[in-house]
A and B are shown apart, each in its own frame.
Chain A
């Protein structure tokens, strides 16, 4: 895990934990994974566990929609280093199951062209990981604190009001209208696109369009283009767990739509558990005694970013402008 990725991970953690970055020593806090670490759970383990859960009826807000409010963690495991299944890489990157629940093989169903681009991104990272060339191509956009959707995005606090669902982290916010308004025209493109939500039974369904195609799902170059559309589905499956599913569709680089699926836990409710694939971000009793423990303090990701930017620039990395498939 690169330092920038680590910082982002810590930021997401801090947001969920209500901790300040100042209380975390980034390098000291970085987990050092033993090569014998068992594979961390993700989509496969969660899918099997979920199948055995009893049906759950979520509470409703006064206006009658499922109540998802509260503060939520991110996916468990070791973060979004590589959303596909991988073995132990180094002390920062333990073995982990894939985030991909569909197709069943856990691989992103790239077209041949799409896969060649991903592989070029990966080879050009030049970090000394297996399969990388010495030629520098693009740095992971997270190096520059870019916002993200999916495993790297985090949910943070969900606040619901009539006609709107908000997701607020220390770093950023998403304000998702659920009032039926249409998306803007498709020339309006953004890192996380534009979201439109609706309720289907117990599930919040979010349609994301207008993505700019510059975002990576992880640190090894898994990407989508600006032709992509995403659908997020958030369903409470017990009082303290959201089943999060993200469908990605982009016929210009994938041969079929695919899905990621993982649980997110309500902050402070325990449940760190490799057997279920759930992960708790805030279980330390010591922290809970702090009157400020539930507050979310400033996460200025770009503070000191000049050093990162200067380093990547002078090392010869290019700016990733997105993949433009041949017509």
Chain B
């Protein structure tokens, strides 16, 4: 209890979004397999897709408070310069503009819903964005031996009390963390924690580690909201087809020249 209180004080002191303080004693219902039930259609309600750090507004970009514990991402100097280069040339360099798989954790806080489905030996994340599927296996197999470079990484799940912990490795260096140019290398290691904080809320935390890019592991956290609409469901976002349809006959806009 003292540890929890200390964590809350520390989190508040670090300026983390209020979400962290919601780490309550809420007891989630259980699935038929006896696991804490995280299932349903979830979505964030923040501006992390634009920028993980505090940022002002610009055309089409809402201002927002950051989701990074401590406020700033601890870049190595050369990496910070590269992040700034990304930010300046975002329209050309961001993998999102060519509709690539967005990686983890970025896909979690894009403005599209996703569905969590639990079975005994795996948790499936079904994302509306690009129809991406991510399986987090809980079948006793460790991460397969690398090196493997996958856009969404290799996810292995476990339970820490009522919290789902997903360990993700085997990434490419081809995805970013947001539209502000925050990035990582293929050495990225993400540990996600999903904790129900109420009937319609879940705390999402991700610890991000990458010895090529950052000086130390750092953490983001934010609430996930259960979509309340009675007919909430995943529809389709086949990004590439919309992009090709829009630009095929416009040489100046066609991104695959």
Contact = CB atoms under 8 A, between A and B. Distances in A.
A319 B32 CA distance: 48
Interface stretch (A95-103, A124-132, A304-312): A304-312
Contacts of B218: none
A271 B235 CA distance: 35
Contacts of A318: 248
Interface string A282-308: 000000000110111110101101100
A147 B151 contact: no
Nearest to B99: A302
B183 interface: no
A297 B122 CA distance: 13
A297 B150 contact: yes
Contacts of B144: 292
Given A145-B240, A171-B133, A306 B117 contact: no
B101 A313 contact: no
Contacts of A297: 150, 154
Contact of B117 (A141, A147, A159, A295): A159
Interface string B228-244: 00010111101011001
A177 interface: yes
Contact of B133 (A62, A146, A168, A310): A168
B244 A309 contact: yes
B126 interface: yes
A296 B233 contact: no
A190 B101 CA distance: 19
A173 B240 contact: no
Nearest to A141: B241
Contacts of B148: 22
A173 B126 contact: yes
Interface string B97-110: 01111000000000
Contacts of B249: 319
B204 interface: no
A168 B248 contact: no
Determine the main DSSP class of B at the interface with A: loop
Contacts of A313: 248, 254, 256-257
A298 B248 CA distance: 28
A299 B248 CA distance: 25
Contact of A175 (B126, B135, B257): B126
Given A168-B133, A173-B133, A302 B100 contact: yes
Interface residues of A, number: 43
A321 B150 contact: no
B196 interface: no
Contacts of B131: 147, 171-173
B27 interface: no
B244 A319 contact: yes
Contacts of A194: 235
B174 to A, nearest CB: 8
Contact of A298 (B39, B98, B151, B234): B151
A181 interface: yes
Interface string A146-160: 110000000000010
A303 B151 contact: yes
Given A172-B131, A319-B249, A190 B236 contact: yes
Contacts of B254: 313
A170 B131 CA distance: 10
B127 to A, nearest CB: 9
A318 B245 CA distance: 10
Nearest to A319: B248
Given A318-B248, A319-B245, A319-B249, A298 B150 contact: yes
A300 B151 contact: yes
B152 interface: yes
A125 to B, nearest CB: 17
B141 A306 contact: no
Contacts of A144: 240-241, 244
B206 to A, nearest CB: 19
A168 B240 contact: no
Given A191-B236, A191-B241, A194-B235, A172 B133 contact: yes
Contacts of B154: 297
Contacts of B133: 168-173, 296
Contact of A166 (B126, B231, B235): B126
Contacts of B100: 302-303
Contact of A168 (B124, B150, B233): B124
A298 to B, nearest CB: 4
Nearest to A214: B241
Contact of B256 (A181, A292, A294, A310): A310
B240 A321 contact: no
Contacts of A147: 131, 236, 238
B194 interface: no
Interface in A109-167: 141, 144-147, 159, 161, 166
A144 B247 CA distance: 14
A31 B240 CA distance: 29
5 interchain residue pairs of minimum CB distance: A172-B131, A319-B248, A190-B236, A298-B150, A309-B256
7 contacts: A169-B133, A173-B234, A191-B238, A302-B100, A303-B151, A310-B256, A313-B256
Given A146-B241, A291-B141, A318-B248, 12 more contacts: A144-B240, A144-B241, A161-B39, A172-B132, A177-B233, A190-B238, A295-B139, A295-B141, A306-B98, A313-B257, A319-B248, A319-B249
